[in-house]
Amino acid sequence: MTLDKNGITESVLQNLHDDAKNDLLRIGKGIAKSIFRPIQPSDFENAYLPITEEQGVALRQLIIDNNCKNVVEFGTSLGISTIYLADGVRQTGGKVITTEILESKAARAENNISKAGLSDLVEFRVGDAMETLNGYSKLIDFLFLDGWKDLYLPLFQMLEPCFHAGTLIYADNMDMSGTQYYGDYVLGKGATYKSQMVYKGKAMLTACAA
Ligand SMILES: C[S@@+](CC[C@H](N)C(=O)[O-])C[C@H]1O[C@@H](n2cnc3c(N)ncnc32)[C@H](O)[C@@H]1O
């Protein structure tokens, strides 16, 4: 695996970010459907819902600066964040495990990651993260939380035995409802977890102290 010398990964990312900008209409339809019931992943089957380019660059740098090798992602969507994570582990000699509940999205993400030249660095687990990561036992260096918000806390607690001193946990969309349980839990364990809000307060970065 070589670095992105020809800019292939960067050009795939640029195209994906451009496509994602055209998503607003489809996202609007998903929200309209969900007025009468809770929002479900399938309401956003074609939507990227991605991190921004600025966030992606910062995530990649965090992985490189902290030499993170085992990276786990909750919420692949169409693969934009996964590409940044995989581009980071390309430089640290690591791997990304990513999980997405919708098969159609996982298939499109796999295709995007292949175009970006990063397939060797990404393992897909298709299904509900609470099942696909159940029993996971390897030490995690970097956990990226970006799936459904009410699962941040149960998923974090399920994976806590895999954390070590220095594990980083980046939780996106901390301004969305459902994340408060996660925030309360992590901030309440201040001796174990040191947290700071990043990216203009949208995300929370936590370091495991022990
Ligand atoms: C905000 S999007 C992820 C965006 C992606 N991380 C990016 O920046 O490109 C959230 C994704 O989580 C998926 N998701 C929701 N609940 C899930 C679950 N229980 N297990 C796995 N994936 C889930 C949704 O289908 C959706 O594609």
Over 90: is that where the pLDDT of 53 sits? yes
Over 80: is that where the pLDDT of 108 sits? yes
* pTM strictly above 0.85: yes
The band of 32, judged by pLDDT with boundaries at 50, 70 and 90, is: low
Domain-by-domain residue ranges, the chain?
A: 8-208
pLDDT at 24: 63
Which residues contact ligand 1 via a Cβ below 6 A? 41, 48-51, 75, 77, 80-81, 99-102, 105, 128-129, 146-148, 151
- Ligand 1 atom nearest to CA at 75: 12
Could you identify the residue written with the tokens 């990304």?
96
The band of 27, judged by pLDDT with boundaries at 50, 70 and 90, is: low
- Please identify, in words, the CATH class of the domain defined by 8-208: alpha beta
What residue type is 174 in one-letter code? Answer: M
What residue type is 140 in one-letter code? Answer: I
The band of 33, judged by pLDDT with boundaries at 50, 70 and 90, is: low
Q: What 8-state DSSP symbol labels residue 117? A: T
Could you identify the residue written with the tokens 């307060």?
201
Give start and end residues of each alpha helix (H) in 74-162. Answer: 80-92, 103-115, 129-132, 152-159
What residue type is 125 in one-letter code? Answer: R
Q: What are 158's two structure tokens? A: 């399920």
Closest Cα partner for 13 from 75, 55, 72, 44? 55
Over 70: is that where the pLDDT of 126 sits? yes
Over 80: is that where the pLDDT of 163 sits? yes
Q: What are 168's two structure tokens? A: 């980083």
pLDDT one-digit tens code per residue, 187-197: 999 999 999 99
Q: How many CB atoms lie within 10 A of CB 111?
A: 13
